[in-house]
Amino acid sequence: MMATYHPGVHKYALLLVLWALVLLTAGALVTSEDAALAVPDWPLSYGTLNPPMVGGIAFEHSHRLIAAGLGVLIIGLAFLLWRYEERPYMKYLGFAALAGVIFQGILGGLTVLKLLHYWLPVMHAVTAEIMFAILVSIAFLTSHWYMRSLPQYTDRGSPSIHSIVNLNAFVIFLQVLVGAAFRHKYLSLKPHVYGAPIVLAVVIWTASTLRRRFPEVKEIARVRILLHSIVGLQILLGIAALWTRINSADDPQPMPLVVTATVVHTVVGATLFAASIITVLLCYRLVPRKTEVIFATTKGEVPA
């Protein structure tokens, strides 16, 4: 069975990635501005779709509107994948995105109705980053590059490169989890701080292994450089966010510098996790789980 590139589907998926980035930023602003309970009801805001956009209400209600827009767009994405995709797993991934955004909306509502208890804010934050990774994956899997006939490369090392990149993604996800738990005051700062050098070490190991085993593969070179760049930026942003938080500990409300540093740190963290998932998909695309090198013989299309 051959998979066909559909440029319209791919461009639509990219639109959703950009929309999700806006939503992640809006969600981080709600938390950073302490506006999570500025609106006490759900799904409406003070019983209406058009509450007064003042103070924390503006942050919380804007977040809800952007989230609702993403939900509508994901319905369209699921339909497009079901209608045009020949690969069954892509159809399932579209439905998974749809189920995920519904679940995310329910989590958001429960977070408000249950007054931020029961780890609901943490689950809401982590699910948002998983959803972002799913949308980035769909955009990558529907790209023209992924659909082309590509050379295959042999992995002669141990442990396998697939095990390494999966571990890399898992460690980054754990750091995302403890970071969300700290931001929502369910854990102290220590697990997140101690986790940062572990993430850095695992990313360096992963990128070094990719460079050593596949020095001639430009796509792998690009993704390892991307991992290095994002994790380096994220470490610096984490230090900046911590510094601004410490220096504004006595302020009566979150100051702009604290809010900016924290929001950017949160969004870049989601981007790092998404990049780790792309690294996994790239390695599975270019490196077969076999001992021999397999070269594709078709052009323009690839087996699904």
CB atoms within 10 A of CB 88: 10
Q: pTM to 2 decimals?
A: 0.90
pLDDT over threshold 50, residue 254 = yes
Across the range 224-253, mean pLDDT stands at: 88
The pLDDT score that the predictor gives to residue 242 is: 87
Residue 303: what are its φ and ψ, rounded to 5°? -60, 140
Residue 232 token pair: 């380096």
Residue 73 token pair: 């767009």
Residue 249 token pair: 């500990």
Residue 116 pLDDT level (bands cut at 50, 70, 90): confident
Rounded distance between C-alpha atoms, residue 205 and residue 211, angstroms: 10
pLDDT over threshold 80, residue 19 = yes
The pLDDT score that the predictor gives to residue 2 is: 61
Across the range 62-87, mean pLDDT stands at: 95
pLDDT over threshold 90, residue 76 = yes
Across the range 217-237, mean pLDDT stands at: 94
DSSP H or E segment with residue 246: helix 218-247
Residue 294 token pair: 């397999």
pLDDT over threshold 60, residue 294 = no
**CB contact at 8 A, 149 and 302:** yes
Rg over alpha carbons for the chain, rounded to the nearest Å, is 21
The pLDDT score that the predictor gives to residue 295 is: 39
The pLDDT score that the predictor gives to residue 298 is: 35
